[in-house]
Amino acid sequence: MKEQTAYVTGADRGLGLGFTKALLERGFRVFAGEYGLDGAGLDTLAKTHGERLHRIALDVSCDRSVLRAADKLREHCEHLDLLINNAAILGDFTGSITDPLDFTLMQEVYNVNSLGPLRVAQSVFGHLTRGSLKKLVNISSEAGSMEQSRRTNRKLRYGYCMSKAALNVQTVILANHAHEHDIESYLFDPGWMRSFMHGTKNLKATQEPDDTAQTILATVLDRPHPGYLYMTHEGQRYDW
């Protein structure tokens, strides 16, 4: 059997680091997209799983960086079994329509959260078609759900919510194409995690990213595809 390979974006910390750790523990060769300068979490993993961990400099908002990362990946493997588009930023979480809105920052959020996953998927799509598992995972949010914004009477968070809604429709379009190549697609709301989206670890949140990564991977790797795209971290259907 061919060695299983995975590519995780935003692997420096939070959920991406959790995926990287869990996949290494499952025996995967992991290409970890590294964005920040503080790679302490990946340093620790390198000590125990060094030969199967490939750290690749990756800024998903930059065409050239994404292409360079894909070249690096291709140097080390001929197929990709699993792509996890995880990297994202929050931007300004506070402005309502009556506040000043930072449209430049919103464009940056869109570039990272919506265009980033598409750039990365395109850069390794050929490799994914040659994998044996053939799994494509996009990490969205409850913020991408129109129904959730309506139900909760949301009046803030334009940039982040719009970027995740765009990711959601992108995943539908991509999944249609991927399906023709027997690639199964998943779109997760990972839940509320003690990660670093606000700059420091959010201790108020209810889930540890490492546990969430394990739960998501159980749905993706251990069970048959549920037949719908948008789901909670536990694999239950989520409202669009």
Nearer to ligand NAP (CB atom), residue 66 or residue 183: 66
Number of neighbours of residue 44 by Cβ within 10 angstroms: 12
Smallest gap, in angstroms, from Cβ of residue 83 to ligand NAP? 14
Nearer to ligand NAP (CB atom), residue 205 or residue 221: 205
- Report the interface residues with ligand NAP, using CB under 6 A: 9-10, 12-16, 33, 35-36, 58-61, 86-89, 112, 139, 141, 190, 192-193, 195-197, 205, 209
Nearer to ligand NAP (CB atom), residue 15 or residue 45: 15
Smallest gap, in angstroms, from Cβ of residue 205 to ligand NAP? 5
Nearer to ligand NAP (CB atom), residue 102 or residue 130: 102
Nearer to ligand NAP (CB atom), residue 90 or residue 178: 90
Smallest gap, in angstroms, from Cβ of residue 29 to ligand NAP? 20
174: helix, coil or strand? helix
Smallest gap, in angstroms, from Cβ of residue 39 to ligand NAP? 9
Smallest gap, in angstroms, from Cβ of residue 2 to ligand NAP? 27
Smallest gap, in angstroms, from Cβ of residue 15 to ligand NAP? 4
For helices 40-49 and 14-25, give the axis angle rounded to 10 degrees: 0
Nearer to ligand NAP (CB atom), residue 123 or residue 195: 195
Q: Which of 11, 144, 1, 119 is nearest to 67 (CA)?
A: 119
What's 152's DSSP letter?
A: T
140 and 187 Cβ atoms separated by less than 8 Å: yes
Nearer to ligand NAP (CB atom), residue 118 or residue 139: 139
- Cα 58-63-68 angle, rounded to 5 deg: 50
β-bridge partners, 84: 8, 137
**b or e along 186-220 (b: 16 or more beta carbons within 10 Å of the residue's beta carbon)?**
bbbbbbebbbbbeeeeeeeeebebbebbbbbbebb
- Alpha-carbon separation of residue 224 from 177, 189, 207, 215 (angstroms): 20, 19, 25, 14
CA distance 203 to 219: 26
Smallest gap, in angstroms, from Cβ of residue 37 to ligand NAP? 7
